Amino acid sequence: MPATINATRTRSALRTSARISLEMLLVLVMSAVTLWILGQMWSIVWPLVIALLLTTLTWPLARFLRRHGWPAALAATAVTVLFLLVAAGTVVLIAVPVASQSGELAAGVVSGIQQLRDWAAGPPLNFGADQVSSALDDGVARIQSSVGSIVNATLTGVGTVINGLVTTVLALFLMFFFLKDGPRFLPWLTRQLPGRLATDVQIVGARSWDTLGSFVRSQAFVGLLDAVFIGIGLWIVGVPLVLPLAVLTFVSAFIPIIGALFAGFVAILITLVSNGPTDALIVLAIIIAVQQLEGNVFQPMVQSRGLGLHAAVILLAVTLGGSLSGIVGSLLAVPIAALIAVVWNYLREQLSDPPQEPENGLPEPDKPDTEVTVAARKPT
């Protein structure tokens, strides 16, 4: 009898394991299909994602204006125009000082090249003038032989810039409509969904929106820390254009990996042509130290508090996103992981506690608990 009972339990356990494995396999297949569909629609999805992130950054001001009697369209217009003015002001703050000192920078570049040639002519390399000229001739010949590939790369770069401009314009228009009509979307969507699903989608959507807002605010805070510490380091070393470089560092913090590399390269280059190689090495050490602290200490700590994720989870998410989709994957890894955590926590709550239906039906669209902007088409 005990042997029969054990065999029955074993078969039951195997059937349960097989059923769970099949369900997990179906989930993975559906996830892969969903990702493939998103990849095919990326030209639409990417502006939508950017618009959502911009909306989370500008929504608090739009909500403040709406609560003080501003019409939705007027509040959205004012916030969008203010955002464009701030963006344009940031560009001017970077470009004008650089343009005013372009002559000094150009002279520094020429001087740096001459110093490099003098260093190459001395020990231990002892390159003569003929060798330097021959190396330059070889470089010119290689460039001439690669004209076709350079032209192709240039055209590809121009196409990328055009696509980026189109994406930016589309994202700005979407941001305006999200600011204007976003709070109406969840109530409209809940009216289209049957039964219990209407309540679940509304709650998950509200929590997801709060999570996205926390992500953008934490990213801005981390970028501010980078700009302040690197700016102080540049000021102590005596590097010119400290304010534009600090602003560039803050703006580039929203672009993972490549943003920090670009801002650091610009700061080191300006230090090299203006102050010399010794100060450039000092600036390089400062940037590496600050970025290591930001990537391994500040960012995981700040985002883990705002998103409810452990710092190790954030580091693993960024690593996985970067390995799967490069820069875009690194940018979206943390918010996607946070949204998955939101859905999982809600499912766990529903499985552990009995569901509670709302007493008075769905809330009104303009009340604070439903003012949630979600990426979707304009409600009808």
Q: Among all chains, which residue has been given the structure tokens 């009340």? A: 367
Within 13 A of 153's CA, how many CA atoms are on the CB side?
5
pLDDT at position 79: 92
What region, left, alpha or beta, does residue 238 occupy, with left being phi > 0 and alpha being psi -120 to 50 degrees? Answer: left
What whole-number distance in Å separates Cα of residue 14 and Cα of residue 8?
Answer: 10
DSSP 93: H
pLDDT at position 122: 66
> What's the pLDDT tens digit per position in 336-353?
887 888 888 888 887 775
Angle subtended at Cα 366 by Cα 361 and Cα 368, rounded to the nearest 5 degrees: 85
Q: Among all chains, which residue has been given the structure tokens 């403040």? A: 64
| Residue in 177, 183, 180 with CA at minimum distance from that of residue 368 | 183
Contact (Cβ atoms closer than 8 angstroms) between residue 172 and residue 84: yes
User: Tokens for 28?
Assistant: 């993975």
pLDDT tens-place values along the chain, 380 residues long = 566 767 777 878 888 888 888 888 888 888 788 878 877 777 787 788 888 888 888 888 888 998 888 898 898 999 999 999 988 887 787 777 767 766 666 666 666 666 666 666 666 666 666 666 666 666 656 655 655 554 554 445 455 667 777 888 888 888 898 888 877 777 777 777 777 777 777 788 788 888 888 778 777 888 888 888 888 988 898 888 788 888 888 877 776 556 677 788 888 888 887 787 888 889 889 888 887 887 777 766 766 666 666 667 777 777 777 777 776 777 777 778 878 888 888 888 877 755 555 444 444 444 444 444 444 444 44
